[in-house]
Amino acid sequence: MEGVMQTETKIRAESGIESGPRGPGCSLRNFACEQNLLSRPDGSASFLQGDTSVLAGVYGPAEVKVSKEIFNKATLEVTLRPKIGLPGVAEKSRERLIRNTCEAVVLGALHPRTSITVVLQVVSDAGSLLACCLNAACMALVDAGVPMRALFCGVTCALDSDGTLLLDPTAKQEKEARAVLTFALDSVERKLLMSTTKGLYSDAELQQCLAAAQAASQHVFRFYRESLQRRYSKS
């Protein structure tokens, strides 16, 4: 299994041809989002960041298994499905990160003894996968009409060997980076909902990344707003 993954990532890294040139300094890749594209789930969204793409489906508030029932709030479940092979430890860990982020913004107390299920499917991984998963999850939750305290978005920063900060890195950039940091931020106060990091960085760099992520989050939230405005343009 490991071998497959490795060849895969290798192939992908090499073929990771990015559409459009990326300017110097910090930039986000081109974003695209389609909502309500699946007929079965209560809400769905496909989110693309450059060549990274994640599909999300949300059910809820729906019936809950008795064993998982919580008497005063909704049971929130997140499943992340890899494209190749069966979900492993990496997926489980990401699931938890996403779940806790969602938990922080979803108003589960409004629907006790129900389940809110988010299913995420990796469609293609070309860097910043966790951030893309978070964005897809948020758009799908919005599409499903799950009551939320705020919107959230994911932003990935990479620090390369000479300390240059990159936002929304590609798979190649992530691989070459000294540290990769992913943050989830909420839309109301731009507060940090979740952070996960990998690699070495100093505390100043952490704050830099956080500030950059906050700046980037404004673009993401503007993107959210515009796509939702478009979506409701005919109602």
Partner 1 sequence: MKETPLSNCERRFLLRAIEEKKRLDGRQTYDYRNIKISFGTDYGCCIVELGKTRVLGQVSCELVSPKLNRATEGILFFNLELSQMAAPAFEPGRQSDLLVKLNRLLERCLRNSKCIDTESLCVVAGEKVWQIRVDLHLLNHDGNIIDAASIAAIVALCHFRRPDVSVQGDEVTLYTLEERDPVPLSIHHMPICVSFAFFQQGTYLLVDPNEREERVMDGLLVIAMNKHREICTIQSSGGIMLLKDQVLRCSKIAGVKVAEITELIQKALANDQKVRKEGGKFGFAESIANQRITAFRMEKAPIDTSDVEEKAEEIISEAEPPSEVVSKPVLWTPGTAQIGEGIENSWGDLEDSEKEDEDEGGSDEAIILDSIKMDTGEVSNIGSQDAPIVLSDSEEEEMIILEPDKNPKKIRTQTISATQVKAPSKKPVKKRKKKRAAN
Partner 2 sequence: MAEAAAVVAESLAGYRARAARAVLEQVVLPGEELLLPGQEDGEGPGSAGERPLRLNAGARSRGRVVCGPGLRRCGDRLLVTKCGRLRHKEPGSGNGGGVYWVDSQQKRYVPVKGDHVIGIVTAKSGDIFKVDVGGSEPASLSYLSFEGATKRNRPNVQVGDLIYGQFVVANKDMEPEMVCIDSCGRANGMGVIGQDGLLFKVTLGLIRRLLAPDCEILQEVGKLYPLEIVFGMNGRIWVKAKTIQQTLILANVLEACEHMTADQRKQIFSRLAES
The reply on whether position 162 binds partner 1 by CB under 8 A is: no
List the structure tokens of 67. Answer: 């064993």
The reply on whether position 220 binds partner 2 by CB under 8 A is: no
Site residue total, partner 2 (CB under 8 A): 51
The reply on whether position 207 binds partner 2 by CB under 8 A is: yes
List the structure tokens of 37. Answer: 């594209």
Rounded least distance, CB 41 to partner 1, Å = 6
What is the spatial distance between Cα 211 and Cα 161, in angstroms, rounded to a whole number? Answer: 20
∠ CA 73-77-80, nearest 5°, is: 165
List the interface residues with partner 2, window 145-174 (CB under 8 A). Answer: 145, 147-151
What is the spatial distance between Cα 217 and Cα 72, in angstroms, rounded to a whole number? Answer: 32
| DSSP category for residue 22 | -
List the structure tokens of 4. Answer: 């497959």
Say if CB 31 and CB 220 are below 8 A apart.
yes
Q: Residue 133 touches which of partner 1, partner 2, none (CB < 5 to 8 A by kind)?
A: none
∠ CA 202-50-221, nearest 5°, is: 70
List the interface residues with partner 1, window 131-150 (CB under 8 A). Answer: none
Rounded least distance, CB 129 to partner 2, Å = 22
The reply on whether position 78 binds partner 2 by CB under 8 A is: no
Say if CB 163 and CB 205 are below 8 A apart.
yes
Rounded least distance, CB 150 to partner 1, Å = 16
List the interface residues with partner 1, window 67-86 (CB under 8 A). Answer: 79, 81, 83-85
Residues that bind partner 2 in the complex, under the rule CB under 8 A: 36, 42-43, 59-64, 105, 107, 110-115, 142-145, 147-151, 185-192, 195, 206-207, 210-211, 214-215, 218, 221, 224-225, 228-229, 231-232, 234-235
